[in-house]
Structures are given as structure tokens and as C-alpha cells.
Structure 1
Amino acid sequence: MNASYLLTPAIMLMFILICWAFSNLKVLPHLEESTPRYGYIDGLRGIAAVLVVCAHSWRVNLMGFSNDEILKADYFYNPNFGAIGVQIFFCITGFLFYEKISSNKRQDWYKFFLSRFKRIAPLYSLAILLLVTITAYNSKSFGVEMIPGTVKMMAFGLFGQTYKTASYDGSHLITVLWTLPFEWKFYAILPLIAALMSTTRTLLLGWSFTIILLCSLLYADVFNVWVYFVSGAIAAVVNSKFNNRKHIMATIFFLMTTAAIVYSAFIDIPKYGWERFMLSTLFFVSVIMAKPKILSSKPLVFMGEISYSVYLMHVFLFFLFGAFIKNYVSPGEINNVYFYTLLLSYCVVTVSICTMTFKYIEYPFIRKKTPIPNDALIEHKKAP
């Protein structure tokens, strides 16, 4: 077997093994004291985050190490797994917030947006601090030229995701930030969605407009992200009809759609086109219907708990891990065994550090805030 085909499974397995070890060590004790309402969604979120890490595994090159046999052969389909991970994130966000509004249309929107800011900002601030520090170090100074870019970055990527000086471009460290503006814009229209859901007539009007817009977007462009929030909302409607009804056909449906979406990563279709929308929607609906117990397993729930840290920090950790390793090992072309040893060591470091950033940066703010629903990248179950 070509060594490149082991890359994604190896990364996924290593993340699961380390999360299993940490969950048994009870590094995050609150997981032992509370039962998530949607444990299977926590697990799915964790898988989605690791799929994005797999998509960026080529960044081993940026450490100064290369292996053409693995990276060049794997490069075609690995980014497709990253796109699938992002789509799952957005599906989860659409599902959880649509369901929340459906069950309680009278939201305190001031508390809602404040809680979103408190949830996102602490870890995001650490990411920006790392970005500024690394850029200043490589530029050999913190000049006035860095101030406009730093201020822009404080807007959560809403004004762009480029950050560079005349001598160093740090934009490669924040490539994942492009999804955050979509999240914020979705939050911004939630009051409108809640208003449309206030009566049956406006609800039907809203869904009719949404379907027309969705079809228009999928027809006009092969890059669409908004549509996956709709996928989540569709799953929420399905869940309201089939909640607590588990049937063998739902499990078969889940297995079939899982096989289909994995297979789609190996074929040449647009990463955000209508084909991927259909597959991701069917897959996510099947998850909601089947509620697979395997996704509620301890290591996957743990992985879901630290998923925001993994998503936001993993590119920085590629850079910092590489900078550390180069102090002891000469960079250059490396063999397959050395490559996998290096990459799996990175996985161990990433899970360890992201567990700490969750525990000491994210969780203190979560514990103090008013509980609100989960979302795909940045939320989890209620704190005790």
C-alpha cells in the first residue's frame, strides 16, 4: 500500500488514542460529572476538527522537512477531508441554533451575543498574540506597520485574513480564520430567523425564500458555505419529527452516507459545490436520525471538547513544533518512518497543548457564563 494512504487514518487514530488516554486520566473532570444532550454531536465535532488537521498535514513542509512520496501523492484528496470537516462544523451550528430558536423563540439577544463574544474571544486573543509575536520575531522588530494589521485581526477576520510586514508574511498562520466571519454573520441573522419562525405563515415564507436562494447559490457558484447552515436547519426539522425514534434503517442510512462522503473525498468534485452539499446534508441528517453511540464514546467526546482549540491552534503548532525540532534535527528530505514519527509526535503535542488551552483559557469563561446551545467550532455541553 502507498504510504500516503495511511496519512489521514494515522492522524485520526493518534488523536483518538491520546484523547482516550487523557479522558481516562480525567484531565477534564467536568466531562465525568455531566452528560451532554448531544454526545454524538460532540464526537462528530471532534472528528471534523481532526479532518481539518489532516488537510493541513502538508505543512510539515513548512517545518523544513519533506517527503515527496507521501505528501505529493496525498495532497489531492487530503484537502477534501478538510472541506468535509468545515461543512460538518457549519451543519452542527445550523442544527443547534435552529433547534434552540424553535424551542424558545424569545431569546435574550444581548446575552446571546455577549456570550458568543466571551466564548470566542479568549482563545482567539491568544492566537492573535502568537501571530503578532511570531511576525515581530521574524520581522526583527514590532514596527508601526504592524498596527493596522493587528487592529484588523481583532475583528475576528471580518475585514480579511492577511497579516504581513515588508519582510514577513504571517498570513499562513491564520488560514483557518476564514470560517469565523461566516459564523458571526450567521449569528447576526439569527434574530431575523427567530422573527420568521414566529408564525406558520412567515416560517413557510422564510423556508421558501431560503430554498430559492440556496438553489440559486448552488447553480451560480461552486464555492458556497452558507448552504451548510441550511443543512443543519433541515436536520433540526427532521429531528423534531423523528426524535427518540431509532430504527435499524436509520443506522443503515448512516453507514451508507458515511461511506459515500468518505468516497467523495477521493474523487474530483468541487469542494463546496452542489454535489458536496447533497452528500453533507444527507450524511448529517443520517447522524441526527441514527444518533450513533460510537460518536458518544469518551475519546471522541473529549476530542469534541477541545475541538475549537485544535481548529484554531493547530497551524501555529505546526510552525512552533517545527521550529523546536529543527534545533535538534537537520531539516530536509526524510524517509517514511521518520516522517510518520514526526507527524504523530506533532499530534501528541497538539492534543496536549489544546487540552491545556481549553482547560485554562476556554473553560474558565464557559463556567461563568449563562449556558446557551452548542455550536460547531466553539461550544460544548453545559458546565456543572
Structure 2
Amino acid sequence: MTSLRGIAALLIVLNHVTLLMLPLGQTQAKAALIKTGILGMTVFFVLSGFVMYYNYAHRIAANRSEGTVHFLFARFARLYPLLIAYVVLNFVLNVSRSLSSGNAAGASLYVATLPLYLLGVQSWLYAVIDNVNVTVSQYFGNPAWSVSAELFFYTLFVPLIALRKARAPSVTRGLFIVIASIAARAAFLTAANAIPVQHWIAAKLGESSSLSVYAWLVYYCPYGRCFEFFAGMGIAQIWLARRERGHARSVLADRLGLLAGACGLAYVTASFMSEIVFSLPSLFEGIATHFFYIMAVPPAIYFLSRERGVAAKILSRAPLLFLGEISYSLYFVHTLVFPLFRVPPTTDLALHLPMVIGRCAAFLAITLVVSTVVYRTLEKPSRAAIMRMLGMSVRAQTQAQSVQDTEQVASLASRQ
């Protein structure tokens, strides 16, 4: 799973490099390059649901208070230190850029929406200020929207797990969750694609030239993307049930899961050939991409996560594991680096190929080095420090309870 997280981050990096740093959006490859971003985010959210369920569901179900505290501390330690550093750094850059160019209104917008970014809730609401959607109102810091969506998923995860009865993983239940999540995502996408719905939201809440209602609903809105997270939870339950129940009844379900995963991988592969090798827009373009990716990615992750499969052996290679470890830092760091190497849209890539290759190589090297440094000096130490605080808190509570129990025993003995 660590390697898949790194691959998801690489897909996002590829999307930004080819379409924002290089002018490849003007070539025939544009359709495929757009899909790298869509696929990367879908993989990220489905994978997140898988990992959350796998690591924390049993803890929360077994002991609600202790499991919930551990989950919240662990997730806070994982996300917030780097998120806050990224948001504050980009806020300073944004305000400095606006004030230096005499754009006081822009600086005011950054100040007004900064609290939303620090809390990580900027994607939770549709709001327009000065013709700018608040979800993308911090310019350089806009990629933090995905972490905001992730935090929304966490607010749903704890109640869902805490309120359910502690039951063993079930293939049937997991399959139901996956199918229901896909159906709900499809229904949400259908509604988001409806022109009357878009017009109603624009009339009631405003419209932004920086981010259309359609784009917010389909790509940024956590209320629609949470179903990808749920689908990952369902796949995790199927995976755990298959692992814990190794009897013959699970063989058929496993084979069907592998077949679905192979079909999912085949669709993803074919989607990148659309508009290059063939043209089937009803299956591979526009809203269809979002719909079929939510159908393809969950079983594909199940296929790739089989601990004895060939794919799993490839994903266990050290370079991919390393990318997975630094994936969070990589996601943020690359957004600060690629603008430094942007190639003008009017550049003839064929005539300036050495320059383009040099910029790409420099971008990649700097991004990997800085991401590694950020991971080792900020992300990892901060996470460890916060988890140590949790450990000290738990030990203090245990010692206090032990003292209280001892005093109660002594009091009873003295009375006797």
C-alpha cells in the first residue's frame, strides 16, 4: 500500500509537470495527461479508505474511546504539521506577491480565507468571494484541497466505525459497501452533470471564473468523493475476510475479485489510449472517466494488494517503497518547484528538446531531494513527537488509574 501511495503522488506530479510546467496540453496527449490527475486522486482516496479501515477499524470497534483517541492523534500527526507549514509558507508567498504588485484586494482575499486552510475545511463548502471559489483561493496553496477532503473523510470514519457492532470482516458486507459506494458516486456524478443543478447552485451561492460549479462538484467536493473513500473501506473488509478465512469458500470470491481487478486495470490502461489510438468518448472522456475510475480502481487495488501476487512483489521494491514514504511531502513540494522550471506555451518542444529535458531533470532532482529533506526533518519527526505525546498521555492515565485502584483497595482493607 505504501508503494501505491507513491504511485498516486507520481500521477499527480506527472499531471502538473506535463500540463502546467510543459505545454503538452496543446498536443494530442492532452486527454491522457488530464486523466493522470483524475486517476491519481481516485487512487489516493480509495487507498486512504482501505488503509484507514485496515489500521483502525478493529481498534475503534473494540474500544471506542481509546481507539478513537489513537486514530485522531495518529491522523493529526500524519497530516497537520506539514499541512500547516505548507499553508503558512504559501500564504506568505501569496501576500508578498499581491502587495508587491499593488493588488490589495488579492491580499485581503488570502487573509480572509487563511483560517479555512489552516483548519483544513476549505473544500467543505461552496462559497465565492470576489469571483474566487474559496476552495482554490490561496493560489500557490490550492493543492491543499485534497488534504481538506481527506479530513472530511476522517470526520465520517470515526462515527461509522464506532457505531457499528464489532463483527468479523465479511466478503459479502465488503462487496455490498463497494457496490453501494460506486452506485452513490455514480448518482452524485449524474446530479453534478445536470445543467439545472449547476445553474441552481450558481444562482444561490455564486459562480466563479476560477472554478466552475461542475468542476467543484465532480473533482473537489468531498461530499461526492467520500464514496471513493467508502469503496476503499469495502475493499479492505473483503481483503481482511479473505486473509482471515482461508477456507475453500473464499476461493471463488477471491478469483472473482482478481478478475474484477484485472478488468479494472484493463480499463485504466485503455483510458490512456483514448483519443490517441481510438475515440470512445462515452466510455473514456468527460464525466465517464470519473464514473468508470470509481468502478475500476477499487478492484484494481485489491488485485495489486495480494500479498503473494507478482504485482505485490514489484510494489515491494525499495524505490517504490521510498516514494510511498515521502509521497505526502512529494505532493506538496513539487507544487512549489515546478513553477520555477515552467516552459513558455509558445515554445517549440522539438526545437528546444535539450532545454526541456534539462528542466525536467532539474525539477525531478530538486523535488526528490527537497521532499526527502522535508520528510526527514519535518514530517517524520513531527509525527513521532505527537505520537510520543499520546504515549505519555496514555501512560499517565494508566498510572493514575492504577493509583486510584490501589487507594480503593487499601480503603476497603482498612474498613475490614
Give the CA deviation at 1:273: 3.3
**Aligned-partner Cα distance in 2 for 1:219–1:256:** 22
Tell me the alpha carbon deviations over residues 42-61 of structure 1, each in whole angstroms, 9 at most, x when there is no partner: 11111110000111124555
2:295 is the alignment partner of 1:260: no
Contact 2:174 2:237 in 1 (8 A): no
Unmatched tracts of structure 1, length 5 or more: 1-40, 372-384
Separation (CA, whole Å) in 2 of partners of 1:130 and 1:51: 24
Equivalence map 1:70-219=2 (5 Å): 71-104=26-59, 105=61, 106-107=63-64, 108=66, 109-141=68-100, 145=108, 146-158=110-122, 171-198=138-165, 212=180, 214-219=182-187
- Show structure 2 runs of 5+ residues with no match: 191-217, 219-223, 275-283, 389-416
One-letter amino acid of the structure 1 residue matched with residue 374 of structure 2: T
Contact 1:232 1:281 in 2 (8 A): yes
Q: Deviations over 1:250-294 (max 9, x none)?
A: 888766643432222333333663321111122112122336111
| Bigger Cα displacement from structure 2, 296-305 vs 155-164 | 155-164
- Alignment partner of 1:354 is 2:371: yes
Q: What code does the residue aligned with 2:183 have?
A: C
1:92, CA displacement in angstroms? 1.6
Match of 2:305 in 1: 288
For residues 49 and 243 of structure 1, do their structure 2 counterparts lie closer, same or farther at Cα, with a shift above 3 Å needed? same
Name 1:319's counterpart in structure 2. Answer: 339
Q: Shift of residue 67 of structure 1? A: 4.8
Contact 1:60–1:343, Cα closer than 8 Å, also in 2? no
Task: Give the 3-state SS of the residue equivalent to 1:243 in structure 2.
Answer: helix
Matched, 1:277 2:294: yes
Residue 340, structure 1, aligned to residue 357, structure 2: yes
**TM-score if structure 1 supplies the norm length?**
0.70
Map of 1:365-380 to 2, 5 A cutoff? 365-370=382-387
Structure 2 residue aligned with 1:239: 239
Name the CA distance, whole Å, in 2 between partners of 1:44 and 1:213. 21
Distance 1:55 1:43 in 2: 19
1:297 aligns with 2:317: yes
One-letter identity of the residue aligned with 1:72: T
- Contact between 1:306 and 1:358, CA under 8 Å: does it hold in 2? yes
- The residue type paired with residue 227 of structure 2 is V
1:52 to 5, 12, 16: 12
**Bigger helix share:** 2
Structure number with higher relative contact order (C-alpha < 8 Å, ≥ 6 residues apart): 1
Deviations 1:346-380 (A, max 9, x none): 11111111011101010112223439xxxxxxxxx
Q: Deviations over 1:304-325 (max 9, x none)?
A: 0110011122112112455xx9
Q: Is the 8 A contact 1:161 1:177 kept in 2?
A: no
CA RMSD of aligned residues (A): 3.8
Q: 1:320 to 1:127 in 2, by over 3 A?
A: farther
Distance 2:378 2:362 in 1: 24
Q: Contact 1:196 / 1:206 at 8 angstroms: preserved in 2?
A: no
Identity of aligned residues (%): 19
Contact 1:51 1:85 in 2 (8 A): yes
